[in-house]
Amino acid sequence: MHDGCSGSFENGKQVVDKVRMMGFDKQPMPAPLTIDCSNCGSEFEMETFSGKCDCGMVYGVTPCHAFDPANVMAAGIEY
């Protein structure tokens, strides 16, 4: 079921699963976001709705919330 912009997620795995299910994971975001990796501390540019830092930590954000890095959630290493 599609919740539009009102959907809420408990963790990053749910976010990544949602963007994959909707086919948005490889689509470019309106503007790239600079993300600090919670696993290795490196900084990377997240250009699609699902991205991965150098150490393999996967991140996701829904299209409705892709304007703010605070909305990006970590899903896990190589998730």
Give residues with Cβ within 8 angstroms of 47, minimum separation 6.
28, 29, 32
pTM beyond 0.85, yes or no = yes
Give the closest residue to 70 by CA, choosing from 37, 35, 42: 35
- Taking the CA of residue 48 as centre, how many other CA atoms within 13 Å lie in the half-sphere pointing to its CB? 13
Q: What is the pLDDT of residue 1?
A: 39
Q: How far apart are CA 77 and CA 79, in angstroms?
A: 5
Q: What is the pLDDT of residue 5?
A: 73
Q: What is the pLDDT of residue 4?
A: 59
Q: What is the mean pLDDT of each run of 10 residues along the chain (79 residues)?
A: 68 96 95 95 96 96 93 96
